[in-house]
Chain A
């Protein structure tokens, strides 16, 4: 009986698509974006959510560029500071693994340890942001488009 229940539960979780019924989740095969912090902090204020997403789309490419430049210059202090700043943005607009990656970059740069992993992490951050940017631009073209 318990086995049947578990099998049923597994079937359901395989089919589960959290984005379909949850207006805070935007996803495709490449990325999952969770905007629940914005919805909760504004009481579902669409103007506010729209404005914050636009700010994110404007600021994050500059932050990632700064991260890449600091990395190229091996300026670990600025790599640390920029990753720390990105961490705050990704704690509001949650893009699946992004928060873990920027946290890892921040920690490695701060402690000047495992620096050889940072280029790949920054590459991942850049790539994932491009996926996120695409889905957010598509869904947030206008204030009433989401």
Chain B
């Protein structure tokens, strides 16, 4: 299973990549939204994890673009702060599928990824 992670803070991005790779996923990291969009031109992830506040193209813009193009069925998990409720709501309105609050437990991240992949797979089979 392939995962694209967009996060501009290097330490957090690399930690998420390490955790997901350790759990058996293929992971590609992007330092901001525009890099994520560039990667998506030639890469079809099974799930996208994105931060909200990033330079160039924000997480919200990324979700908006992703959900209106060929990747629209790809589930998106938003990484947010505890105090960003309005932004999380906006992300859901744009089509995000789940969110996880920073700081989070690395195990929780994998659990949420697996859960979303399962839902996505079940939904695809039933169609």
Contacts and interface: CB of A to CB of B under 8 A. Distances in A.
Given A40-B105, A88-B102, A91-B102, A103 B81 contact: yes
Given A37-B106, A40-B107, A103-B83, A91 B18 contact: no
- How many of chain B's residues touch chain A, expressed as a range? 20 to 34
B81 to A, nearest CB: 6
B47 to A, nearest CB: 17
Contacts of B107: 40
Interface string A22-51: 000000000000000110111101001000
Given A37-B103, A45-B18, A89 B12 contact: yes
Interface in A91-146: 91-94, 99, 103, 106-107
Contacts of B57: none
Interface of B: 7-12, 14-16, 18-19, 22, 51, 53, 81-83, 102-107
17 contacts: A37-B105, A40-B105, A41-B18, A41-B22, A42-B22, A43-B22, A48-B18, A55-B11, A56-B11, A85-B8, A85-B9, A88-B8, A89-B11, A91-B103, A92-B11, A94-B103, A107-B83
